[in-house]
Amino acid sequence: EAQVTQNPRYLITVTGKKLTVTCSQNMNHEYMSWYRQDPGLGLRQIYYSMNVEVTDKGDVPEGYKVSRKEKRNFPLILESPSPNQTSLYFCASSDRDPFQETQYFGPGTRLLVL
């Protein structure tokens, strides 16, 4: 089954404790992206990757890191999480950039930073 998977689905952590949210897709998509969703703000793009070893900042990259060593994986790293990073996070992928192809979203990761 074609899908985007994220782990963990739920995470409670404390300020400053490094964490990684994994994202994997099995559709051989080139484009992958991370979004955070907050009430009243919609989804905001954190980072995106057009292909392996190519990553770029989105609208709200501060406090986040990503890497794209393999085509299928695009982990999101929070080196020193803070309470303002409490949010619902979505990973997405598409065959090419979203201008040409629809994005497929993962199930989401709900993060609470205390």
Partner 1 sequence: GQQVMQIPQYQHVQEGEDFTTYCNSSTTLSNIQWYKQRPGGHPVFLIQLVKSGEVKKQKRLTFQFGEAKKNSSLHITATQTTDVGTYFCAGYLSDTGNQFYFGTGTSLTVIP
Of 24, 33, 55, 85, the residue at the interface with partner 1 (CB under 8 A) is 33
Distances (CA, A) of 57 to 21, 44, 112: 17, 11, 23
- Pattern 64-93, partner 1, x by CB under 8 A: --------------------------x-x-
Q: Does 44 bind partner 1 (CB under 8 A)?
A: yes
Of 34, 48, 64, 74, the residue at the interface with partner 1 (CB under 8 A) is 48
Phi, psi of 85, rounded to the nearest 5 degrees: -95, 5
In the complex, minimum distance from the CB of residue 83 to partner 1, in angstroms, rounded to a whole number: 21
Phi, psi of 28, rounded to the nearest 5 degrees: 60, 35
Pairing of strands 109-113, 10-13: parallel
16 Rama class: left (phi>0) / alpha (psi -120 to 50) / beta: left
Residues that bind partner 1 (CB under 8 A): 33, 35, 40-45, 48, 50, 56, 58-59, 90, 92, 97-99, 102-108
